[in-house]
Each structure stands twice: as C-alpha cells, then as structure tokens.
Amino acid sequence: MRKLFLVLTILSVHFSFSQGMKSIQEFGVKPENSPILNKTNLQKAINWASISGAALWVEPSEEPYHINGGLILRKNVSLIGVNGPTHRGTFHQSKKQPVGSVFKITDTKSVFMTVESATQLKGIQFWYAEQTIKNPFEIIEYKATIQVSKTSKTQGVYLSCLTFYGEYLAFDFNASKNFPCELMTFEHCYGYPLSGEFIRMNYVYDVPRILHCHVNPAAQRFIGGQYSKAVVDAVIAKKTFAYTINNTDNAQIMDLFTFGTYGGILLDNQSYGQLTNFNFDCVAVGILKRGSNTKNRNWQISQGSIIANTGETVENIHPIIIEGQGHTSLSNVEAFSGGNNALTPVSEQMSWDFLLVKGSEKLTVSIWGSRMRNYKSESPISLENMNAIIQFSGCIDKHENLYNKIFNN
C-alpha cells in the first residue's frame, strides 16, 4: 500500500509539473544544436509562452545548451531550471564544464537576454566557456547577460538562484528616464563579473530589492579553477562597483558579499533605502554614499564588515566615503584590513581611515557601535567637509579605546 501511495504521489507531481511547464527541448532547443538554431527555437518557445503566461523548463542535461544572444524574455514568461545557486560550479564527471540547466554563451556581440514585465528567471547557470581564468590580457568584454528592456516600462521581474561563470557584466538594469522599471527582485545570485559590475540599476522605482547575492573569484573553482591573482587585480583596476544603485525609491538591500572588486556598493546621488548584513572583502572602497538633497537622500546602513586593502595607494583606500547631501546612519559596521593571497594588497595591508567625508554641502552622519581598526591615519575619520555634522557614539578605534566624538562646525 505504501509503495502504491508513493507511485501515485510521484505520478501526481509529474502530472502537475507537466501541466504547468513545457521543456525547452519540446521546442527544439537541444544540447547538440548550433547556437543559432537554439536561439531561434528558444525565442519561439518564449513567444508561445507569453500568450498564456506559461513556464518553460530548462531541462537538465550533461551537455549545456549552446545559445546565441539577442533573446527577449517576453511578458508573462517564466524560464525555470533545476539548479539552486551553485556557488563554485556544478561539474561534469570527465570535462571541465557545468551540468544541469546550463546556457553556454560564446556570443560577443549581443546581450544574452532582455527581460520584459512579469517575467521570471530561476535556477539557471550561465557559462561563458571561452572566457579566460588566468590571463588579464585575454579578458573578453561580453555584453550583459541579463538586461532590462530599453524600449518599454518593465515591471515585476524576479531573478532567483542564478549562477554566472566568466561573465563580464551580469545584470544591466540601467533603465532610462523615459522607460523606467519597477519592482525588480534579485536574490541568491552568484558570480564574478570581470568588469567589476555584478548588478547595476538606474531608474528602478517602487522598492527594488537585492537579496543574498555573492560575488567571488572562486565562483567556478570546480570547473576551471579560481581566477588568478592577475585577473583579480585587473578587475579591481577598473575602479567599478559590484553593486550600483541610482534613481531608486527606498531600495531594500540585504545580505551582500563581494570579494576582489574596486568598490563594494555605490549608493548614488538619487537613491535612498536600507542596506544591512553585508561583507565587502578586499576592496579599495567599501561603500560610497552620495546624495542630491536633504529630504530623502538618506541611507540606513547596519550589520556589516568591510576589508579595504587593495587597488590604490594607502592614502586612497577608504572603507566608507560619504559626500553630497542627506543623512547616513551607520550601525554596527566593522572595518579592518590585512593581506590576502588571492590578490595584490596594498603594501601597508591597511586602509587610510574608517570614514572619509567629502564635499562642501551640509550633510549629517551618525555612527553607532562600530569597530574601527587597521587604519594608518591617526584619526578614524578624514574630514574634508567643514559643513558636515557627524557623531560617533560607542565606537572603538584602532587603539582599542572608546571613541565618542561630535564634529559640528
């Protein structure tokens, strides 16, 4: 009886699954096909699914689906694979390549996929098979893997459990003022972009979310190996940020990690929101916060650590930089530095300070309960803005002394 029940349960699940999704292989998307044919057939499948809001199943296979770029994920379509975020790569039994729901990309001319409204991408791996791991002079500057539509107002895109190997820019969500987008969700996405940019967003309104995302040069350790020190140094030299936010309404950002990029996150002039639970490791600048007004260019930042130790001379290494207008609240944010064999650290193996405040316009900063150490200057703050109002409370400096100070000029 128990065996019969189990069989009936499996059949029921399979029936429900088959009613809700169709395999892309049913549309002629096959591992053995050319990338041009697979692109054509996958676009046909997407166009079919758009009418009813159907889901397409990226059926797992031993060999990846080699597909050209230029795809458009039409409105209402879900493209779903078998994988969770695979961290350091799934791996073939005899070849250095991933297995599962894998798109193999070698097209250098086109963005791989543009997303429209009410779409979903989940459980898929994107493998740039010809990208270098060792030689910085051989880095291929691929177009973005996933891009928001540049010709329509896009709303409600859900991007989850996506893994990237060898990408140059993972997510280009720099929309335009004429075609802004809303309600974008990025969660559990892993990669190491060789441009230094993993997610960039502009004109993304109505509470965009970046949750549980991880940038690390060990991303394809099980496939081809960790990126070399020379490649990581080259990525840092681009002076880009792993995450960039601008023209947003109350962005919600939680549980971010980046290693070996110039900057952790840029909170640009026209943004505000909350950033919590983060680790920006082996960067030159952890957080750069700007602001264009005093009303709502405010960020609440908490529960994080920053290791700023590379990419510049020590005088130019700052865990946190604040400029422009608005308020910044920092709570329980730790900064320290040191060496790391995965990249070339600054010779002093420390940052210049904990906080650099720049500009000439009035801004306000509150820092609570933060541990500050391994900075070279005598003071944890470099104050270049004489109109800033800053308060440290319950913080600990590099001498392990209590640091309570108010700067109000």
The Cα-based distances of 69 to 40, 87, 120, 144 in angstroms read: 10, 24, 18, 10
- Both tokens of 237, joined, read 């030299």
Buried b vs exposed e over 8-45: b needs ≥16 C-beta within 10 Å?
Answer: eeeeeeeeeeeeebbebbebebbeebebebbbbbbbeb
DSSP-assigned letters across all residues of 220-245: TTTTT-PPPHHHHHHHHTT--EEEEE
Residue 104 is predicted with a pLDDT of 98
Q: What is the pLDDT of residue 10?
A: 43
Q: Going by C-beta distance under 8 Å and a sequence separation of 6 or more, which residues neighbour residue 335?
A: 286, 305, 306, 307, 308, 319, 320, 351, 354, 370, 371, 372, 373, 374, 375
The whole-number pLDDT of residue 220 equals 87
- Beta-carbon neighbour count of residue 287 at 10 Å? 30
Q: What is the 3-state secondary structure (H, E, C) of 290-322?
A: CCCCCCCCCEEEEEEEEEECECCCHHHCEEEEE
Q: Walk along the chain (409 residues) in steps of 10 and give the mean pLDDT of each run.
A: 47 47 97 98 98 97 98 98 91 92 98 98 98 97 97 96 98 96 97 98 95 94 90 97 96 98 98 98 98 95 97 96 98 93 90 97 97 96 97 97 92
What pLDDT is recorded for position 19?
53
Per-residue model confidence (pLDDT) at position 124: 98
Predicted pLDDT of residue 225: 85
**pLDDT on residue 338:** 87
pTM of the model: 0.94
Q: For position 1, what pLDDT does the model report?
A: 52
Pairwise CA distance, residues 359 & 290, whole Å: 10
DSSP element (H, E) containing 388: none
